[in-house]
Copies of this chain bind each other. A is one copy, B any other.
């Protein structure tokens, strides 16, 4: 702001070329002689030129912006996903405008307005606040990650596979009864498949099972107290039986494990525990917890591939938008650690 910017006009004057040629130096360098390229490079340096990409966007319509709306970064899953998405800058050079979506639908629509006003070329949504129908109405490429996505493209973990792997392991390990602990999950979001797979697998192998979907609460303390009740219930109800506990995330699994330790000072053979997410806590707990690892890097990469493809399509003279949303599933991996025998 202090001194006026150096512009193509200045470079042009300084070198005796036209603005057009300066522009070409950046966008089609091969169309200049090497000699002239060097001449311009030198001038750029001497005048201390700095690009202004905003002017470029205005002229050619390509902002290279991608919007991201994420529910929070408190959960390791989200912060890791954001990291991986941001990392893709190295490959694609898209810049990311990031919003954390607290504050409900109105706020989130305000964020979207803002993003549209900055001419984002594409959008990545991890929050569950707005319906996919609403999101689709913005007419830009949108990828949903791990959420309801009827009308937009999506990339999700193959929750069914993951849950099946967990459940199968507990069955193979000769558990007498299997218990799945989770919050109440709406049927239309991907995570519901964890519940479905658990039930169907238990049924298929004729293993007794119980579904506990009563977890709720925001703070760790609340969760802990709830889990204590659940633990005591299970511990007395199935006393003497070998219990396979499959929890919907590693935080829950860790709490459950801590409760077991508080009572037994160890993990008795009577208990097997599996979490979900492969978040740090699963490795850092008093005993490393077996878990289902979501391949966050693969999800992020797939998301960007899908998105870039569609953003490129939009730049063609006659864009052919997708007829139907594409949905990709990424297989998670079972990470065996010490809470499911050795």
Contact = CB atoms under 8 A, between A and B. Distances in A.
B58 A55 contact: yes
Contacts of A57: 54
Interface stretch (A116-124, A199-207, A301-309, A323-331): A116-124
A136 to B, nearest CB: 14
Contact of A117 (B53, B82, B113, B255): B53
Interface in A13-54: 50-54
A139 interface: yes
Contacts of A95: 97, 114, 118
Contact of A319 (B1, B107, B117, B280): B1
Contact of A261 (B54, B89, B107, B286): B286
A290 interface: no
A92 interface: no
A220 B283 contact: yes
Contacts of A98: 86, 96, 98
Given A54-B57, A73-B82, A315-B1, A281 B281 contact: yes
B286 A258 contact: yes
A87 B72 CA distance: 10
Contacts of A139: 2
Q: Which of A95, A114, A283 has the most CB of B within 10 A?
A: A95
A75 B118 CA distance: 30
A107 B139 CA distance: 34
Interface in A117-171: 117-119, 139
A211 interface: no
A74 B80 contact: yes
Contacts of A281: 280-281, 284
A30 to B, nearest CB: 22
A255 B118 CA distance: 46
Nearest to A93: B114
A261 B264 CA distance: 13
Interface string A229-258: 000000000000000000000010011001
Nearest to A139: B2
B286 A2 contact: no
Contact of A50 (B50, B116, B261): B116
A280 B86 contact: no
Interface string A208-227: 00000000000010000000
Contact of A73 (B1, B79, B99, B255): B79
A265 B284 CA distance: 17
Contacts of A295: none
Contacts of A79: 73-74, 79, 82
A83 B73 contact: yes
Contacts of A86: 98-100
15 contacts: A1-B61, A2-B139, A52-B119, A54-B58, A73-B83, A74-B79, A74-B80, A83-B100, A89-B111, A90-B103, A90-B107, A220-B284, A258-B284, A265-B266, A286-B286
The 5 closest A-B pairs by CB, nearest first: A79-B79, A51-B117, A73-B79, A53-B117, A286-B286
